[in-house]
Amino acid sequence: MRNSIFSMLNQNKTKLENLKEKLEILKKDRERLAKKLSALRLIISEINIGSNLDKILNLIIEKCVKIIEAERGSLMLFDSQSEKLYIKSSIGLSEKTVSGVRIKPGEGIAGWVFIEGKPLLIEEGAKDPRFKKFENIEEELKSIISVPLKIKDETIGVINVDNKLKGELFDLDDLQLLSDFANEAAIAIQNAQLHQQMKNLAITDELTGLYNFRYLIERLEEEIKRAQRYERSLALIMADIDHFKEYNDTFGHLEGNRVLKSLANILKINIREVDIVGRYGGDEFIIILPEADQKEAQEIAERIRLKVERYKFIDNEDHSGETKLTLSLGVTSCFQEIISLQGLIYKVDQALYLAKRKGRNRVEVI
């Protein structure tokens, strides 16, 4: 009897110790979660301060991976034109993965989360039937959390994290934490997008979508100072549509506006990535070419001239035989010389005037 009592006491003592141990573990888990929530609030405040979209996206995924203690993470946004999700920022993913992944709504884990608007915790990601393995993309995949970025009832993207550090698996606390984070991140993204749209409206020509006169002048002034400071070359192209007034008088201003839009697109796709193109006014356009010499600028201008000459602006059968327009272009440059903004514009304007005087549909250099 006595032995039985001692045995029972020992068992109770063991159970009590086990319970205390579990309570201690639970307490530490709660403390860890509380610290993460506190850190989350600070991170959200930091994110909401910014207005640059790319920086905010990078900051979101950087902090997200850190607070969830994940090996990798990606932030995907939905592009309404292509109707696909693209990776806009990531940590731990190869360039091949980032550039190669394009996900349709409903496709794969991220596509499912996007369509359903619900967070997802998967312990064995690669074995999930929703997982899509992309050709030639090899990323070891274990535990996954994927959460939607939502503004009210609209999903704008998805945050994905996978492979918790130290080989552990994500749990429901991680899922809740990331979901809360994503809700705040979505608001920050929307605010940055709106800020970017407002900024674009302020510097963009409404009709053509190119930069407007004010922004062109600001950038040209900056580029002239940069070229002089670092002793780099700078070139300028001014283009003007030949006989555009007569064209407008014949076909009307709506058709003329359509021509200006088409020309804007031709200009955009025939310049270098670093070049700045904008509408100077009416049917005149300017292209700023940082670090381009006169010869390179002349070649770009000639390429544009040929593209315009060969382009069929009117598809309306009623206007058959009146489908061609041409462009006159002036080119100038400066290298290791002191020149004002007004002086450079005067030079390129004189080059354009020379092209007009010599018969139009040509490139002239001064």
Give the number of other Cβ atoms within 10 Å of residue 50's Cβ: 16
Backbone φ and ψ for 204, nearest 5 degrees, come out as -115, 140
Q: Predicted confidence band at 201 (pLDDT cuts at 50, 70, 90)?
A: confident
pLDDT band at 68 (very low <50, low <70, confident <90, very high): confident
Of the chain, the percentage scoring pLDDT greater than 90 comes to 47
Q: Is 13 helix (H, G, I), strand (E, B) or coil?
A: helix
Report the sign of the C-alpha dihedral through residues 4, 7, 9, 12, in that order.
Answer: negative
- Which pLDDT band, with edges at 50, 70 and 90, does 137 fall under? very low
For 145-176, letters b (16+ CB in 10 Å) and e give bbbbbbeeeebbbbbbbbbbeeeeebeeebbe
- The mean-pLDDT minimum among 186-190, 210-214, 293-297 falls in 186-190
327-334 sheet: strands from edge to edge:
276-281, 284-290, 234-241, 327-334, 363-365
- What pTM was computed for the model? 0.60
Please state, in angstroms and rounded to a whole number, the distance separating the CA atoms of residues 143 and 166.
12
* 3-state SS record for 147-201: EEEEECCEEEEEEEEEEEHHHCCCCHHHHHHHHHHHHHHHHHHHHHHHHHHHHHH
Span 101-125, mean pLDDT? 89
Q: Is the pLDDT of residue 99 over 80?
A: yes
Q: pLDDT of 15-44, one tens digit each?
A: 666 666 666 655 655 655 565 556 556 556
d(CA 90, CA 10): 54
- As a whole number of angstroms, the distance between CA 18 and CA 5 comes to 20
Predicted pLDDT of residue 2:
57
Residue 13: per-residue pLDDT: 61
State the chain's mean pLDDT as an integer: 84
Q: How much of the chain is in helix, strand and coil states, percent to nearest 5?
A: 55, 20, 25
| Predicted pLDDT at 327 | 96
287 CB neighbour count, 10 Å cutoff: 29
* pLDDT one-digit tens code per residue, 151-183: 888 999 999 998 888 778 888 888 988 998 898
pLDDT of residue 29: 58
Task: Please report the pLDDT score of residue 349 as a whole number.
Answer: 94
Query: What are the structural domains, with CATH classification, of the chain?
Result: 29-200 (3.30.450.40), 213-365 (3.30.70.270)
What percent of the chain shows pLDDT beyond 70?
A: 78
Q: Is residue 7 over pLDDT 50?
A: yes
Give the pLDDT band of residue 136 (cuts 50, 70, 90): very low
Does position 266 have pLDDT exceeding 60, yes or no?
Answer: yes
| pLDDT bucket at 8, cuts 50 / 70 / 90 | low
**What does the pLDDT read at residue 195?**
83
Among 43-57, 153-167, 241-255, 298-312, the least confident range: 43-57
Decide if 124 contacts 28 (C-beta within 8 A): no
C-alpha–C-alpha distance, residues 243 and 353, integer Å: 14
- Range of 8-22, 35-49, 83-97, 310-324 with top mean pLDDT: 83-97
Contact 177, 34 (CB under 8 A): no
pLDDT for 142-153, tens place per residue? 789 999 999 888
